[in-house]
Chain A
Amino acid sequence: MGYTFRFEPVFERFDQLLEGAWLTIQLSGSAMLVGLLVSILFALLKTSGPRPLAWLVNAYVELIRNTPFLVQIFFIFFGLPALGMRLTPNSAALLALIINFGAYGTEIIRAGIESIAKGQIEAGFALGLKRLQIFRYIILKPAMRAIYPALTSQFIYLMLTSSVVSAISADDLTAIGNNIQSATFAAFEVYLVITLIYLFLSIGFSSLFKLVERVAFNYPLSR
């Protein structure tokens, strides 16, 4: 084992790594925000939309969930320009992440919608609550609570998946790592530091989400 680790050239570029981490947070954050809107729309279509539309949404969900993200991003980045749609690596990456998240998000939100018992809403009417109050306290909040754990862990999964966008050289933490790697040839050291940054990000976000959960949904469960 005559290997000498070279971490200095990696730590010399720590500002680049921090910038890469910020890029990854921005990319996955914006994909999540837009992806959530897509998910809400599609979940409503799937549960109460017209039949052909519900079928289409279902096909989209199944297709995305049963193919690798790498192939999806190749299809979007290389395939769409063949149809005359020019995309930069960054916009292709964002689009692919939104489409990918949308499929998982649709299923999560659909489950949330279906978790609200009808009797709960009727009970609200019986108590003389207004429509808006019923929506806010009886539908929205319990549904949010039901989907919150799945949604937040899906975000962390999205952030980890986003490292794949480096394959089309979009800007993110892994792509910065690839650049540093080709400048320093300290491959293992670079990717070890990057892996630890990802670990730090996912543990950080999951602690933050748990904290928010404790504050926002602190009322006791029924039963």
Chain B
Amino acid sequence: MFESLQKEEITHTQLVRYAGASGDFNQIHTVVPYGEAAGLGGVIAHGMLIMGFVGQAIGQWFEAKDLRKFTARFKAMTRPGEKITVHGRIVDEKDDCWICEAEAINEDEEVKVKAFFEIKK
């Protein structure tokens, strides 16, 4: 088990900032009335932001440049106000790499992202 990465609370401002940085301007992430009209009850975070948190954790656990494969399944929507923690562990190995898994969860332990990654030894 690696040392968990605890992120600060997600804010609307962070989503606006992530929209600009990534170029994903789908308004379900930034415009509350649009998110409501889309039936989402407000805005939701970009899944790629949460995958980015997992990427940050991987960079804390290993050298990110040693990543060979990184998969994220988006399991639940994340909203402003939620606090995400990333946990991870090695589950197996090949001759040349470690096989690991990680989850991004909120304070109620709802899994937002389930991730798998392989990293060069």
Decide if A and B are genuine partners.
no
B residues with a Cβ closer than 8 A to A are none
A residues with a Cβ closer than 8 A to B are none
